[in-house]
Amino acid sequence: MSGLAHVFEAAGIPTIVVSLIREHTVKMRPPRALWVPFELGRPFGPPDQPALQTRVLEHALRLLAAPSGPVLEDFPEEAPHSASAETGWTCPVLFRAPATAGTQQDALRLAVRREIAMLRPWYERALAVRGRTSVGVSGLSIDDVLEHLCVPLLAASSAPNAAACTADSLRLAAEDLKAYFTEAATAQPGTVSSATVLHWFWHDTSGSTLLRALQAHFADSEDPTLRLLSALLLVPRSQA
């Protein structure tokens, strides 16, 4: 969106970007941008919060008065708890204690594979009810997603597919893993907020441990795209 803003501005059309990832906006330098501290997919905050959403829109529109740019402002409010009723899961899948950061690669892969198997009936239920899914952007099955994400953690000499693990392929595989877990979780009986589901994934699953392991693995990579993946695209800053 920041790139499109430059194109529209060059054509004489004023723009405002509502940014969910501040680092991206700093790099792209759109003419006017408002960073908001909300979860991805909700640039105006949680649902059923019209007063908050109006304040976000009004703050963004005020940026049009800036005499010059680029302008990047931070929205001064945190996201409140969703107004929707939350009753909790009535029969959640109960995993073993999630793998820890020091878990060996084979044990971590086994732990995530076990969680994928336990969630499969719930994921299939979610797919049947909704008729759609966000899983599949990597082009891999969920089992192959796991194997792809585990390749970089193998010793280089025992990872024949390492060359296929680009920053982009790993990013897409990570998105598929997160979508599989969260879509399966929301199919379980009960009503929970998206924030609760995300907290569950990032704190109670071995799937999140795998993504954190990849984040640590690439933190000092010589490849700048893998360092960027580590810094921004595997683990949200709010869950770090």
What does the block give as tokens for 99? 């793998």
**Strand pairing category for 88-89 and 71-74:** unpaired
Give bridge partners of residue 19 from the DSSP assignment. 35
Question: CB-based contacts of 135: which residues, under 8 Å, 6+ apart?
Answer: 123, 142, 176, 179, 180, 183
* C-alpha to C-alpha distance for 154 and 99, rounded to whole angstroms: 17
**pTM value > 0.95:** no
pLDDT given at position 7: 83
pLDDT given at position 83: 47
Please choose, from the candidates 73, 88, 85, the residue with its C-alpha nearest in 3D space to the C-alpha of residue 36.
Answer: 73
* C-alpha to C-alpha distance for 91 and 165, rounded to whole angstroms: 37
What does the block give as tokens for 8? 């529209």
* C-alpha to C-alpha distance for 220 and 139, rounded to whole angstroms: 28
Ranges of the chain whose pLDDT falls below 50: 83, 156-159
pLDDT given at position 136: 96
Segment 136-166, tens digit of pLDDT: 999 999 999 999 999 998 754 344 556 678 9
Question: CB-based contacts of 129: which residues, under 8 Å, 6+ apart?
Answer: 187
Give bridge partners of residue 140 from the DSSP assignment. none
DSSP codes of every residue in 97-136: SPPPTT--HHHHHHHHHHHHHHHHHHHHHHHHHHS--STT
pLDDT given at position 155: 58
SS3 146: helix
- Tokens 């302008």 locate to 71
**Strand pairing category for 32-35 and 17-19:** parallel
